[in-house]
Homo-oligomer: A and B are copies of this chain.
Amino acid sequence: MTDPAPRRRGRPSRTEEESGPGARTRILEAARAQFAERGYDKASVRGIAKAAGVDPALVHHYFGTKDEVFAAAIEVSFEPAAVLPAILGGPREAIGERLARFFIGVWENPASRAPLLAIVRSALTHEAAAKVLRTFVLRRLLERIAAELDVPDPGFRAELAASHMIGIVIMRYVIQVEPLASADPERIVEQVAPTLQRYLTEG
């Protein structure tokens, strides 16, 4: 008996362009847009694949499940791998200021703000999205920051710093409470930096 010919499932054939290195970036951009527009629960791998012009199997191939696409879409919004070493590795006495300026900068940029807003909203209303953010925040971000700190309870301290930044995001960009909603970003950095500095460096 010979192997049966591979079945075609009615998928479009993959061209070089479709499955090439550009496809991964297109999928991530489509995922950011879909999660931003539709929220976590209504976005789908199928919809993301369609928007990126690729087969859904390619989305699974690159990222795995919908949750993993979601995590990757969060990560691409502020690229912690590229930025954290510079924030954590610079002069210790200005770590609070660097972190505050970076964080506010990401949120002041409309291109990164829209998908991040969608993520925050999704995480606050859907346990599955909360779990992705929790795992993501905990594993990839807070633990990495905590590993660089020389204070008691570094994980707890890193999370207090993160909680302040998340609260500012909620008040300024989501609920939009004045005067914070219209405040100059530099004034926020100036006030928040000493708080982050204390959490991250003072025993």
Contact = CB atoms under 8 A, between A and B. Distances in A.
A-B interface, 9 closest residue pairs, ranked by CB to CB distance from nearest: A167-B167, A163-B167, A166-B167, A163-B171, A159-B180, A164-B164, A163-B168, A124-B124, A195-B195
A106 interface: no
Interface string A116-152: 0000110111000010011001100010000000000
A100 B90 CA distance: 32
Given A156-B191, A164-B164, 11 more contacts: A120-B124, A124-B174, A130-B174, A134-B175, A134-B177, A137-B177, A156-B179, A163-B170, A166-B167, A194-B198, A195-B198
A165 interface: yes
Q: Decide if the interface of chain A is mainly helix, strand, loop or mixed.
A: helix
Contact of A175 (B130, B157, B178, B191): B130
A173 B133 CA distance: 14
Nearest to A187: B156
Nearest to A153: B179
Nearest to A162: B171
A192 interface: yes
Contacts of A121: 124-125
Contact of A171 (B166, B188, B194): B166
A199 interface: yes
Contacts of A183: 156
A165 B176 CA distance: 16
A131 to B, nearest CB: 9
A34 to B, nearest CB: 17
Contacts of A159: 171, 177, 179-180
